[in-house]
Amino acid sequence: MEQQLMSLIAQTLNIDEHLVQPDSSSETLEQWDSLAHMNIIFAVEDTFGITFDDEQLSQSMSIKQLVAIIKLQQ
């Protein structure tokens, strides 16, 4: 699932897959800005069939946090 998430994020940010690592976040990837973040949320919701709640929307800015949220809801 982590692998799937990383390639999804690479696709959404339109960057090469190897640039996205398990410890990537909005701090480490310059393309991951607030608009891209919105698209990442939509892409994750569409792909994993989950819905982020309000609180999760503001904190989930890294691969690790996204993984935790997906696991929590699945």
Partner 1 sequence: MFKPILPLPDMQAALKQLTPTRELNVTILRNITVEAVQVPLSYFAASLDYKLNLKFGGLDQIYQDLASNEVLFSGPTDLLWVFNHWLALADKLVNSFTSLTEEEKAREAEFILSQVALVFDLISNISSIKMAFWNDFEIPNAMAFGIFDEDMCSGQQAYLRALNQRIQKLAQAHPKVHILQSDKVLKAIGEQQFFDWRYWYRARAPMSRQALSQFSQYLMNKYQAAQNQSKKCLVLDCDNTLWGGVVGEDGVSGLRLGLQYPGNEYRAFQCMIKSLSDRGVIIALCSKNNQEDVWQVFEEHPDMVLRKEHIAAARINWQDKASNLREIANELNIGLDSMVFVDDSEFEVGLVQQQLPQVTAFRLDPTKASLFASELACFSGFDRANLTSEDLSRTQMYQAQKQRQELQEKVSPERYLSSLNMQLRFHSATENDAVRLAQQTQKTNQFNLTCKRYSEPELLEFIRHEDSWVFCLSVSDRFGDMGIVGCAILLIKEQRVEIDSLLLSCRALGRNIECAFLQLLINECVTAKLSEMVARYVPSAKNQQVALFYPSQGFSADPDVKNMYVKSRLDYLPIEDFFTLHKET
For partner 1, the binding residues (CB under 8 A) are 8, 11-12, 14, 34-35, 38-39, 42-43, 46-47, 52, 54, 57-58
User: Closest CB to partner 1 among 14 and 74?
Assistant: 14
Dig out the tokens for 68 from the structure. Answer: 């935790």
For the bound state, the minimum distance from the C-beta of residue 42 to partner 1, rounded and expressed in Å, comes to: 5
Dig out the tokens for 62 from the structure. Answer: 């890294």
As a whole number of angstroms, the distance between CA 64 and CA 56 comes to: 13
For the bound state, the minimum distance from the C-beta of residue 55 to partner 1, rounded and expressed in Å, comes to: 10
For residue 73, count other CB atoms closer than 10 A to its CB: 14
